């Protein structure tokens, strides 16, 4: 059974870069022909797709975030990562890593990242 787990700093300062890693267990990133992606949810609000990356390297991302988002895959570690630059308080959210784009399944448990000085 595929499981995903997010890790990374819980507190990021404004204007800095948010960096998260998702570790995949129970299956290989490079064997599954899926997109691997990130979705976030500000406290008390709805879901927002950030972007996805195919294991071979092609990516697509939310147009509203595209200029700040980098998603990469490390097949040797069975991990993929998110970098979001120039963060503001509006980027405070629970960040979920996930497999697939339609449908999105499974999801990691999520990690709350707070942007604050």
Partner 1 sequence: EIVLTQSPGTLSLSPGERATLSCRASQSVSSYYLAWYQQKPGQAPRLLIYGASSRATGIPDRFSGSGSGTDFALTISRLEPEDFAVYYCQQFGNSLTFGGGTKVEIK
In the complex, the residues that contact partner 1 under the rule CB under 8 A are 37, 46-49, 52, 60, 62-63, 96, 101-110
- Min. distance of Cβ 97 from partner 1 in angstroms? 10
- Min. distance of Cβ 79 from partner 1 in angstroms? 18
- Min. distance of Cβ 104 from partner 1 in angstroms? 7
User: Phi then psi for 67, rounded to 5 degrees?
Assistant: -70, -15
User: Phi then psi for 91, rounded to 5 degrees?
Assistant: -90, 0
- Of the pair 49, 55, the CB lying nearest partner 1 is at 49
Residues 6+ apart with CB under 8 A from 56: none
* CA 66/CA 96 separation, integer angstroms: 17
- Of the pair 46, 57, the CB lying nearest partner 1 is at 46
- Of the pair 66, 77, the CB lying nearest partner 1 is at 66
- Of the pair 2, 75, the CB lying nearest partner 1 is at 2
- Min. distance of Cβ 111 from partner 1 in angstroms? 11
* CA 106/CA 25 separation, integer angstroms: 12
* CA dihedral of residues 46, 26, 80, 54 (deg, nearest 10): -80
């Amino acid at each position: 059974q595929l499981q995903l787990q997010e890790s990374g700093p819980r507190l990021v300062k404004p204007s800095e870069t948010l960096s998260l890693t998702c570790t995949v267990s129970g299956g290989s990133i490079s064997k599954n022909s899926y997109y691997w992606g990130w979705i976030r949810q500000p406290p008390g609000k709805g879901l927002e797709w950030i972007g996805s990356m195919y294991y071979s390297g092609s990516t697509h991302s939310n147009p509203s975030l595209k200029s700040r988002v980098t998603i990469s895959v490390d097949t040797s570690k069975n991990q993929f990562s998110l970098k979001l630059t120039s963060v503001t308080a509006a980027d405070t959210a629970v960040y979920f890593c996930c497999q697939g784009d339609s449908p999105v399944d499974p999801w990691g448990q999520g990690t709350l990242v707070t942007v604050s000085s």
